[in-house]
Amino acid sequence: MRILITGGAGFIGSHLCDRFLADGDDVLAVDNLLTGSAANLQHLESQPRFRLLTHDITTPLSLADPVDYVLHFASPASPIDYLRFPLETMKVGSLGTLNALELARAKGAKFLIASTSEVYGDPEVHPQPESYWGHVNPIGPRSVYDEAKRFAEALTMAYYRYYRLDTRIIRIFNTYGPRMRLNDGRAVPTFIGQALRGEPLTVYGEGSQTRSFCYVDDLVEGIRRVMGQEEMHDPINLGNPDERTILEIANKILASFGAPSSRIEFRPLPVDDPKQRRPDIHLARTRLGWSPAVSLDEGLRKTIAWFRQHAIKA
């Protein structure tokens, strides 16, 4: 197959490039390198079936080559990034999605949009099934990301209904693993970076807010199975239902570094920070036969080992 991945130099995008190449496919990664990094793909430079195209998908993309799959992963995805690039975030969720859909339509390709659990906002239903419409502040500081993804989902469904384009929508819950940036503001790399530097770990609020962390290899496997489905146009959650408090995650990382639990610094909770987040993955289990296989302890061990080796570059 011939695969095009927007945001291919990003954290998840680069792991997808690895997986599709390992499966024997040809891969074109498209990225403007706003938050992605060409270093994530350096190990693929000698691969004859791989190419990186530096391009901003918020402008139309014309290609002469055939394409079988278009996977749209281009977007700032961490709070630090989308608060620093609010307009770029909204543009890639709207114009970028439009251009990616148009490319898929021109090529007769399957299309997948990487949406997010952020479409559920600060949920009043727990865990969150795909049928839940969410509890979102449409003008809050996080809305540039939340609403961009909600719009992207609506546009994708419009292309499916109007053009009968073969589309997929995945809602990604918190994912972690190698190639995250230490400074991207998300809990796991932030805690690891602070531990590597011997700094206190910063926990917001009392640390009682919960998240469900999915190791990146598990997520990639779920995405691969979604693309292999003949009919799957409605959104599907991909994430790990193993719910933990942020304070528990901080303590696990401290323990991995042999540091005392007293090295935690509490700070005020950010605006609109969700109190709880856990996916209902019943649909993924029944339709895809998929559920996460990597435990939190194993995933953290692998992630910490990678950062110990790459901390200077990260």
| CB contact at 8 A, 29 and 19 | no
Q: 175 pairs with which residues across the strands?
A: 214
Residue 253 tokens, joined: 């990382």
Q: What is the DSSP letter of 269?
A: P
Please state, in angstroms and rounded to a whole number, the distance separating the CA atoms of residues 284 and 276. Answer: 21
Dihedral over alpha carbons 48, 113, 270, 307 (to 10 degrees) = -20
**Backbone dihedral angles phi then psi of residue 51, each to the nearest 5 degrees:** -145, 140
Q: 70 pairs with which residues across the strands?
A: 4, 111
Whether omega before 270 lies within 30 degrees of 0, making that bond cis, reads: no
What angle separates helix 296-310 from helix 246-256, to the nearest 10 degrees? 60
Where in the sequence numbering do the catalytic residues fall? 145
**Which residue in the block uniquely carries the two structure tokens 């979604």?**
226
Other beta carbons less than 10 A from residue 107's beta carbon: 18
